[in-house]
Structure 1
Amino acid sequence: MAETTGGDLGEGPDDGAAGKARLGNRRLAQWSRDYVRLPGIPDEFIAADGAPRPVWTRFLEAFAALSPVDIERRFGAADRHMREAGVSYRAPGESADQQWPLSHLPLLIDEAEWQQLSAGIAQRAQLLELVLRDLYGEGRLVADGAIPAAAIAGSSEYLRPVCGLKPPGGRYLNLYAADVGRGPDGRWWVLGDRTQAPSGTGYALENRLVLSRVFASLYKSMNVERLAPFFEAFREALRASADRDEPRIGVLTPGAFSETYFEHATLARYLGFLLVEGDDLAVSDDRVYIRTVAGLKRVDVLLRRVDSNSLDPLELDAASRLGVPGLIDVLRKNGVVVANMPGSGVLEARALLGFLPSLSRRLLGEDLKMPHIATWWCGQKAAREEVLSRLDEFAIEGAYGRGVPGFDGRGPVLPGELSAAERDRLKAAITDRGIDFVGQELVRLSTTPVWDNGGITPRPFVLRVFAAATETGWTIMPGGFCRIAERPDARAVSMGDGARAADVWVVSDKAVTARTLLPGTVRIKRIAGVLPSRAADNLFWLGRYLERAEATLRLIRALGAQQRDPGRGAPNLVQTAERIQRLLVAWGAVSQTSRTQPSRVAAEALQAEAKFGSALSLLRTAQRTASSLRERLSPDAWQVITEMTARLAGEVEDDDGVVSAAELTLQELASFAGLAQENMNRAAGWRFLEMGRRIERAINTMRLARQFAYDEATGEDLDILLTLVDCQITYRSRYLVGPVLAPIRDLVVLDTYNPRSVAFQVEALNAHIASLPALVESGLIERPQRLAVAAQSSLTTSEAGRLDTKTLFSLEQDLLNLADAIGAHYFPHGPNASRPEKLTGLA
Structure 2
Amino acid sequence: MLGPAPGNASSAKARRLVEMTAAYRPLDGVPDEFIAADGRPRGHWLEFFDKMAGLGSEDIGRRFEVIERNIREQGVSYRAYGETVDRTWPLSHMPLLISERDWAVIEAGVTQRAEVFEGLLADLYGKGELVSDGVLPAAAVTGSADFLHPMIGVTPRGGKYLNLYAADLGRGPDGQWWVLNDRAQAPSGLGYTLENRLNLSRAFQSIYREMNVRRLAPFFQSFRGGLASLASRSDPRICLHTPGPYSETYYEQAYLARYLGFVLVEGADLIVRDGLAHVRTIAGLKRADVIWRRIDADFADPLELRGGSRLGVPGMVEAIRQGNVGVANALGAGVAETPALLGFMPTLSRRLLGEKLILPTIATWWCGQAAEREYVLERLEDMTVGPAFGASPNHSSLSRSVIAGELSEPRRQKLAASIRERGADFIAQEVVRLSTTPVWVENRLEPRPFVLRVYAAMGPDGKFQVLPGGFCRISDRLDSRAVAMGEGVQTADVWITSNRPVEMTTLLPQNDAVAIRRIMGNLPSRAADNLFWLGRYLERAEATLRLIRCLARRTIENEDMSQEGAATTQRLRKLLSDWGAVPAKPPTPPTPLGFLNSALFNIDEFGSAVSLARDSKRTASVIRERLSGDTWRIIVELCKQLEAGRGPLDEPEILERADVALEEIASISGLAQENMNRVAGWHFLEIGRRLERAVNTCRFVRQFGMEQARATDFDVLLDLIDSQITYRSRYLVGVAPYPVRDMALLDPYNPRSVAFQTQRLTEHIGALPLLRHDGMLEPPRRIAIEVDADLATKVASCITADFVISVERRLMGLADAVAIRYFLQGANAARAEKQVGLA
Q: Aligning the two structures, in what range does the TM-score lie when normalised by the shorter sequence?
A: over 0.9
Deviates more, 1:202-211 or 1:515-524: 515-524
Change (3 A) 1:748 1:840: same
**Residues 195-252 of structure 1: per-residue CA shift (max 9 Å, x gap):** 0010011000000011111111111111111101100011111111211111100000
**Cα distance in 2, alignment partners of residues 739 and 100 from structure 1:** 54
Q: Is residue 662 of structure 1 aligned with residue 658 of structure 2?
A: yes
Residue from 609, 618, 624 that aligns with 2:618 = 624
1:705–1:748 contact (8 Å) kept in structure 2: yes
| Partner SS, residue 229 of structure 2 | helix
**Cα distance in 1, alignment partners of residues 40 and 393 from structure 2:** 39
1:404–1:413 contact (8 Å) kept in structure 2: no
**Cα distance in 2, alignment partners of residues 570 and 443 from structure 1:** 81
| Partner SS, residue 170 of structure 2 | strand
Structure 1 counterpart of 2:251, one-letter code: F
Q: Is residue 442 of structure 1 aligned with residue 436 of structure 2?
A: no
Deviates more, 1:63-72 or 1:724-733: 63-72
Q: Matches of residues 786-825 of structure 1 in structure 2 within 5 Å?
A: 786-825=782-821
Change (3 A) 1:407 1:33: farther
Q: Matches of residues 251-262 of structure 1 in structure 2 within 5 Å?
A: 251-262=240-251
Q: CA deviation at 1:419?
A: 1.0
Name the counterpart of 1:227.
Answer: 216
Q: What CA RMSD, in Å, does the superposition of the two structures yield over aligned residues? A: 1.5
Residue from 576, 587, 597 that aligns with 2:579 = 587
Name the counterpart of 1:723.
Answer: 719
Q: CA deviation at 1:17?
A: 4.0
2:525–2:825 contact (8 Å) kept in structure 1: no
Q: Is residue 157 of structure 1 aligned with residue 146 of structure 2?
A: yes
1:557–1:662 contact (8 Å) kept in structure 2: yes
**Cα distance in 2, alignment partners of residues 191 and 51 from structure 1:** 27
Q: Matches of residues 486-565 of structure 1 in structure 2 within 5 Å?
A: 486-520=476-510, 521=512, 522-565=514-557
After TM superposition, the runs of 4+ consecutive aligned structure 1 residues lying more than 4 A away are 403-411, 593-596
Q: Matches of residues 307-706 of structure 1 in structure 2 within 5 Å?
A: 307-402=296-391, 411-470=400-459, 471=461, 473-520=463-510, 521=512, 522-568=514-560, 570-593=562-585, 596-651=590-645, 652=647, 653-706=649-702
| Partner SS, residue 621 of structure 1 | helix
Q: Matches of residues 736-747 of structure 1 in structure 2 within 5 Å?
A: 736-747=732-743
**Cα distance in 1, alignment partners of residues 517 and 398 from structure 2:** 51
**Cα distance in 1, alignment partners of residues 638 and 816 from structure 2:** 28
**Cα distance in 2, alignment partners of residues 760 and 430 from structure 1:** 74
**Cα distance in 1, alignment partners of residues 374 and 351 from structure 2:** 27
Structure 2 counterpart of 1:604, one-letter code: S
Q: CA deviation at 1:165?
A: 0.1
Name the counterpart of 1:5.
Answer: none
**Cα distance in 1, alignment partners of residues 84 and 168 from structure 2:** 27
1:589–1:604 contact (8 Å) kept in structure 2: yes
1:589–1:613 contact (8 Å) kept in structure 2: yes
Structure 1 counterpart of 2:465, one-letter code: T
Q: CA deviation at 1:655?
A: 2.6
**Cα distance in 1, alignment partners of residues 410 and 548 from structure 2:** 62
Name the counterpart of 1:7.
Answer: none
Q: CA deviation at 1:712?
A: 2.1
1:482–1:504 contact (8 Å) kept in structure 2: yes
Deviates more, 1:370-379 or 1:523-532: 523-532
Q: CA deviation at 1:593?
A: 4.3
Q: CA deviation at 1:569?
A: 5.3
Unmatched tracts of structure 1, length 5 or more: 1-12
Name the counterpart of 2:204.
Answer: 215
1:392–1:416 contact (8 Å) kept in structure 2: yes
Q: Matches of residues 30-69 of structure 1 in structure 2 within 5 Å?
A: 30-69=19-58
2:283–2:521 contact (8 Å) kept in structure 1: no
Name the counterpart of 1:113.
Answer: 102
Deviates more, 1:463-472 or 1:693-702: 463-472
**Cα distance in 2, alignment partners of residues 77 and 116 from structure 1:** 34
| Partner SS, residue 681 of structure 1 | coil
**Cα distance in 2, alignment partners of residues 837 and 52 from structure 1:** 71
Deviates more, 1:188-197 or 1:569-578: 569-578
Structure 2 counterpart of 1:295, one-letter code: G
Structure 2 counterpart of 1:753, one-letter code: Y
**Cα distance in 1, alignment partners of residues 462 and 98 from structure 2:** 25
1:404–1:412 contact (8 Å) kept in structure 2: no
Q: CA deviation at 1:14?
A: 8.1
Q: Is residue 767 of structure 1 aligned with residue 802 of structure 2?
A: no
Structure 1 counterpart of 2:835, one-letter code: L
Change (3 A) 1:16 1:292: farther
Structure 2 counterpart of 1:62, one-letter code: K
Q: CA deviation at 1:839?
A: 2.8
Identity value in percent: 53
Name the counterpart of 1:166.
Answer: 155
2:387–2:400 contact (8 Å) kept in structure 1: no
**Residues 514-573 of structure 1: per-residue CA shift (max 9 Å, x gap):** 211011222211123510000000000000000000000001111111111114453322
Q: CA deviation at 1:577?
A: 1.2
**Cα distance in 2, alignment partners of residues 372 and 19 from structure 1:** 51
Name the counterpart of 1:187.
Answer: 176
Structure 1 counterpart of 2:380, one-letter code: L
Q: CA deviation at 1:170?
A: 1.4
**Cα distance in 2, alignment partners of residues 742 and 44 from structure 1:** 79
Change (3 A) 1:261 1:645: same
Name the counterpart of 1:3.
Answer: none
Deviates more, 1:801-810 or 1:756-765: 801-810
**Cα distance in 2, alignment partners of residues 840 and 622 from structure 1:** 33
**Cα distance in 1, alignment partners of residues 634 and 681 from structure 2:** 19
Change (3 A) 1:577 1:534: same
Structure 2 counterpart of 1:427, one-letter code: A
**Cα distance in 1, alignment partners of residues 523 and 582 from structure 2:** 37
| Partner SS, residue 280 of structure 2 | strand
**Cα distance in 2, alignment partners of residues 664 and 255 from structure 1:** 32
| Partner SS, residue 376 of structure 1 | strand
**Cα distance in 2, alignment partners of residues 110 and 588 from structure 1:** 61
**Cα distance in 1, alignment partners of residues 393 and 352 from structure 2:** 31
Count residues with an aligned counterpart: 831
**Residues 94-150 of structure 1: per-residue CA shift (max 9 Å, x gap):** 111111000110000112221111000001000100000000000000001101000
| Partner SS, residue 51 of structure 1 | coil
1:196–1:348 contact (8 Å) kept in structure 2: yes
**Cα distance in 1, alignment partners of residues 655 and 415 from structure 2:** 62
| Partner SS, residue 496 of structure 1 | coil
Q: CA deviation at 1:837?
A: 4.3
Structure 1 counterpart of 2:330, one-letter code: M
**Cα distance in 2, alignment partners of residues 448 and 630 from structure 1:** 34
1:397–1:403 contact (8 Å) kept in structure 2: no
**Cα distance in 1, alignment partners of residues 476 and 106 from structure 2:** 26
Q: CA deviation at 1:30?
A: 2.6
